[in-house]
Amino acid sequence: MKLIFEPPIPVKIAKMKERVRWQHESILQRQIDQTAMVLDDGNQDNPEFSFMVIGDSGTKSHYGKHPQRQVAELMLPHQEECSFVLHTGDVIYIVGSREYYQPNFIQPYREFLVGGENPKAIPYDRMLFKTPILPVLGNHDYYDVPWLYRLVAGTTQPIRRILRYRDAEIGWYGSNQGDAYARAFIDYLKSIHSPQDLEHHLDTHYTAKTDTGFALRYQNGIFTRLPNHYYTFRYGGIDFFALDSNTFNDPSPLPATKEGEICRRQLEKRRQEIDQEEEAILEICDRLNPENPSEGEKLDELTTKLDQINEVKIDIEKQLASSGTPEIDFEQLEWLQNRLIASWNSEEVRGRIIYFHHPPYVTEGTKWHQAQTIAVRRRLRRVFDEVKTSINSKNKERPIVDIIFNGHAHCLEYLRNTDTGHGDSHINCIISGGSGRRPRRQRKEGTELMETFENIEGSPNRKISDSLLYVGRDRKEGDLSLSYSFVRIDVKAGNPPQFIVRPFIAEHHQEQWYNRELESIII
C-alpha cells in the first residue's frame, strides 16, 4: 500500500484557483491583481533591510531533540531587525495534515505570532503574524493519504514498521490537496459565501496600489494572508517572486522509442531494487533500540535513508507515469517571465529574488539526477532565456535574478552558477532546507555540477555550478553531527544592491547543542 500520494498537477492548479476565486467577477471589476501583495509595515521603502530564510522545518522531535524549536530560538535575537521570514516549503511533514500545524508550526514559531504566549489557543486557519512568515508550498504540503490507510493505520504490522522508523506524522486527513496550507496562509475567498461579504472583504483588504492593479495589503498583526499559491511583492526596491514549483516539476515523458522503452525497464528494475533495499533496512531497524544512544544514532541514519528511498520511489513513479504532453503550470511560468521583464524595465527596481521549493542546482545526496530537478531547471531556464532576449543588454554583467532560494534538500548550501550559455548564468543559489527535518549528506561525486547539453558540439558536458558551502549531516570526531540552519540576509542600499548572507547553525553533537554563525557571504 502507498502511504502517501500526490495529486496531479491539473488538480493542484484547479483547487488553488477555486480557493482564491480566481478571476471572479468582483475581483475583475476592482482591477485586482491576485498575484500581487504589498507588505505594509512602514519600512517597505527603506533600501536597507534584513530578512531571514528557513525551510523544510515542519516536524516534531526526533529521538528526544527538537531541532526546529532550536532553530526558532536561534532566530529570535534577529526578529526585531528582520522585516520578514521567507519559508522555502515543507511547512508540515509528512502530508501537510491540519492537526500537525499546532505542534509543528504554531508552537515552534510562537513568538512570531499574535497570541503566541498561549499558542495552543491559536487555530491553524486564523494565524496572525507579528513578524511575517511568507511561505511557498513544498511537496509534503500537497501530499495526501489513501482512505484505506485511515482505516488500517496502526493495525497492520508493515504500516506500523514504516511509520515507526520514519518517525512520521501522517495524521488522519493529509493535506486535502493542499487545502490545509491554503487555509493556514492564503486569503481563502472560497469560504466567503455572500456576494456582499466578498465585496466588503475585497474593498477592505485589496487596497494597495501597484503597477499591475490593486493588491492585497499585508499588515502585521492585522491581516496577514497571501494572495495566491504564487505571488510577488516589492520591498526596499527588491522584487520578490514566490513560486509553486509543485505545479511545474513533472518530468518530461519518456520517448516512445526503443531508447524510451529501455529507460522504462531500467526504472522498473531500479524500483524493485529499492523496494528490496527498504525491506532490508526495516529488518535492521527491527533489531535496534532507540533508547540506546549508539543504536539510536544508527536508527537515525537508517530512517534518513528511508526518507531518501521514498523520494527516489516518488521520482521514479513520476517518470513511469509521464505520457503525452506534460500538464504543467504554463500560466505561472508565463506570469514569471512577464513579471521579470517588467521588473527589468522598472527604474524603481534594483534587485530580484526568487524563492520556491525544488532546487534546480543542488549537491545533496540524491537530488541532482532526479527527474524533478531536471524538469524544474530546464523550465526555469527557458523563462530566463526569454527574459534575457527581451531585456537585451539591460542586465549587462548582472544575472537575471540576484538570488534563488530553495528548500527540499535538507541542508544549507550556497552555489554559484557559471556561464551556462543560458539565462541562468552567474545566478547565486542558496538552499535553506535544513531548519528542522533530518539533515542529509552531500553527494560523493563532489561540488562541481556538470550538465550534458546535447546541442553543443565538441564538449557537450559543461560545468554549470559550483557548491561553495554545504552544511548538513557529517561525522565529527567519529560521532554523528547534525547541523540545522537558517540564513539572515542584510540588503544594502545602492544599485545594484549588496546582499550579505549570514548563515546560522544549531549543531547537535554528542547529545549537546552548539550554536554558531558561519562566515558571511557577500553577493
Provide the pLDDT for residue 108: 95
Provide the pLDDT for residue 156: 39
Provide the pLDDT for residue 289: 78
Provide the pLDDT for residue 315: 86
Q: How far apart are CA 491 and CA 497, in angstroms?
A: 7
Provide the pLDDT for residue 453: 76
Provide the pLDDT for residue 147: 57
Give first-to-last CA distance, the chain, whole Å.
47
Q: How far apart are CA 104 and CA 435, in angstroms?
A: 12
State the cell numbers at 16: 488553488
Write down the architecture of domain 9-251+326-522 according to CATH: 4-Layer Sandwich (3.60)
Domain limits, the chain: 9-251+326-522, 258-321
Q: How far apart are CA 290 and CA 342, in angstroms?
A: 55
Provide the pLDDT for residue 171: 66
State the cell numbers at 386: 526569454
User: What are residue 62's phi and psi, to 5 degrees?
Assistant: -115, 110
Give the residue among 74, 43, 12 at the shortest CA–CA distance from 506.
Answer: 74
Give the residue among 377, 365, 369, 360 at the shortest CA–CA distance from 410.
Answer: 365
What distances in angstroms separate CA 36 from CA 80, 229, 504, one per listed residue?
Answer: 25, 11, 31
pLDDT in tens, the chain (523 residues): 456 788 999 999 999 999 999 999 999 999 999 999 999 999 999 999 999 999 999 988 766 678 999 999 999 999 999 999 999 999 999 889 999 999 999 999 999 999 999 999 999 999 999 999 999 999 999 998 765 444 444 333 444 445 554 445 666 678 999 999 999 999 999 999 999 999 999 999 999 999 999 999 999 999 999 999 999 999 999 999 999 999 999 988 888 888 888 888 888 898 888 888 888 888 888 888 777 777 777 887 888 888 888 888 888 888 888 777 778 999 999 999 999 999 999 999 999 999 999 999 999 998 999 999 999 999 999 999 999 999 987 777 899 999 999 999 999 999 999 999 999 999 999 999 999 998 999 999 999 999 987 655 555 788 999 999 999 999 887 788 999 999 999 999 999 999 999 999 999 988 889 999 999 999 9
Q: How far apart are CA 363 and CA 45, in angstroms?
A: 36
DSSP state of 104: I
Are 100 and 169 a contacting pair, CB within 8 Å?
yes
Provide the pLDDT for residue 479: 80
Sign of CA dihedral 112, 115, 121, 122: negative
pTM: 0.93
Q: How far apart are CA 5 and CA 143, in angstroms?
A: 6
Q: How far apart are CA 54 and CA 355, in angstroms?
A: 11
Length of the chain counted residue by residue: 523
Q: How far apart are CA 185 and CA 195, in angstroms?
A: 22
Provide the pLDDT for residue 310: 83
